Each structure stands twice: as C-alpha cells, then as structure tokens.
Structure 1
Amino acid sequence: MTITLANVGIAVRDIEAAVSFFTDLGLELVGRDTISGAWADTAVGLDGNHARIAVLRTPGSDGEIELFEYLHPDAIETEPTQPNEIGMHRVAFSVDDIDSALEIAARHDCHPLRGVATYEDLYKVTYLRGPSGIIVMLAQKL
C-alpha cells in the first residue's frame, strides 16, 4: 500500500478572511467549490452537509490546506485551541523571512502568542493566532 498526505482540512468562520490571510503569506489558491449532497453527507458524516471550500498550496510543493466554511449544519464555536491540547491544533510553514511574514500577519490582526524564539541558533520560531483562531507556526532557518 502507498500513502501520501493529500491535505490538511481546517474549518473557518470566514473563508474570505482565511483565504486572504494565507494567500498574503504566499500560499497559492488552487480552487474553490461549494459542496453538498448525499456524497458529502456520507464522506463527512454530517446530515445536510453544505460548505464552501478553498484549497491552497505552498508554492512549488504538493502541501495543501483545505479550508471549510460550513453553511449547514451551523459551525460550532469553541474556545480557541491551546498549543498543549490533545489533537490537531496548528499548521506550520517554513519561511525565508519571519519578520516579513509577521508584518503580513499583523495586517490581518494576527500576532505572535508570545514572541519570536531562537531554537539552538538553527531556527527563529513563533506561534501566532490566525483567522478563526487557527494556530499558525512560522519557522525561519538561520
């Protein structure tokens, strides 16, 4: 059996705000769609599943994220995920200029949770709270 990672799915409150944030960071919009119907109900496990989706890719790679804005059933608001909670909680990107990436994030009112750290003179790393409370890790190799 062969296995490859297709994408990481993230439910968002406002798909336009999330697409704007990620494309400003440098991801490429691959496509958009609205999904619904029996196939979507079965695949996702929600009756009446209806969502707007957008797929974004990091340039020059196969790494994709798929954003979902649920139209039905209503999206469930929860407290923002904390970095130490069990389960999937962040998406990470390597960047060549973390300061520029943080300037772009700030234009979307997204700021580091605490600051930028240096890991063993190898990486500058930060976690920030992105759109819809998504934790985004940025890392710049030194």
Structure 2
Amino acid sequence: MAITLENVGIAVRDIEEAISFFTDLGLDVVGRDTISGEWADTAVGLDGNHARIAVLTTPDGHGRLELFEYLHPEAIETEPTLPNEIGMHRVAFSVDDIDEALRIAARHGCYPLRGVATYQDLYKLTYLRGPSGILVMLAQELTED
C-alpha cells in the first residue's frame, strides 16, 4: 500500500489572520472554500459541520497546511499546547534566513518562546506561538561557507 502525507490540519480562531501569517512566511494559498453538508458531517464526525477552509503549500509544493475556522459548531477555546504535551504538537518549517523569518513573525505579534538555539552547529532553531496559539518551529540549516 502506498501512502503520502496530504496535509496537516489546524483549527484557527481567525482564518484571515492565520493566512496572513503563513503567506508572509512564504507559503502560497492554493485553495479556499466554505464547507458544510452531510458529507462534511460524516467525514469530520460533527453534526452541522460548517467551516471556512484554506489550503496552503510551501513553495516547493511538498508541504501543505489546511486551515479551518469553524462557523458551526462553535470553536472550543483551549489553553495553547505546551511543547511537552501528548498529541498534535507543532508545525515546523525550514527557512533560509531565520532572522528574516522572525522579523516577519514579529510583525504578526509572534515571538520565540525563549530564544534562538543552535543545535550541534547544524541548525539554528526556535519555537514561537503563531496565530491561535499554534506552535511553529523555524529552523535554518547552518552551512560552512
């Protein structure tokens, strides 16, 4: 059996805010829709499921996010996930300039949880809180020039 990762789905408070954040980081919107109906209720397992969705992709086309903002049933606010909690954890991106990526994130009010670390002289990386409390990891591969 062949298997391919299709996307990572993330429920957000404000889809426009989330789209703005991720497109500023360099992702591209490849589709938007509003979904509802019996098929959506069955697929997701929620009666009366009605949501705005957007699919974004990385420029290389290999990574996709599906963002969804629930209109019905009403979205449930929870505490933001901590890095050591079991379950869906974070979305990670490789960037070629972590300082520029952090400047872009800061324009959206998003800052590193603690700072930028260097892992074995291979990567500079950090976790930050994106829109709706999403944990986002940014990593820049360090190269010898």
Common topology (TM > 0.5): yes
Following superposition, the deviation at residue 60 of structure 1 comes to: 1.5
CA distance in 2, matches of 1:43, 1:77: 22
Following superposition, the deviation at residue 62 of structure 1 comes to: 2.5
Partner amino acid for 1:30?
V
Q: How many residues align?
A: 142
Equivalent residue, structure 2, for 1:113: 113
Give the gaps of 5 or more residues in structure 2: none
Moved over 4 A (4+): none
Equivalent residue, structure 2, for 1:103: 103
Equivalent residue, structure 1, for 2:6: 6
2:139 matches 1:139: yes
Equivalent residue, structure 1, for 2:127: 127
CA distance in 2, matches of 1:30, 1:134: 21
Partner amino acid for 1:126?
T
CA distance in 2, matches of 1:61, 1:108: 24
Give the gaps of 5 or more residues in structure 1: none
Deviations, residues 34-89 of structure 1 (Å, cap 9, x unaligned): 00000000000000000000000000122100000000000000001000000112
Equivalent residue, structure 1, for 2:48: 48
Q: TM-score normalised to the size of structure 1?
A: 0.99
Following superposition, the deviation at residue 140 of structure 1 comes to: 0.1
Partner amino acid for 1:45?
G
CA distance in 1, matches of 2:84, 2:55: 27
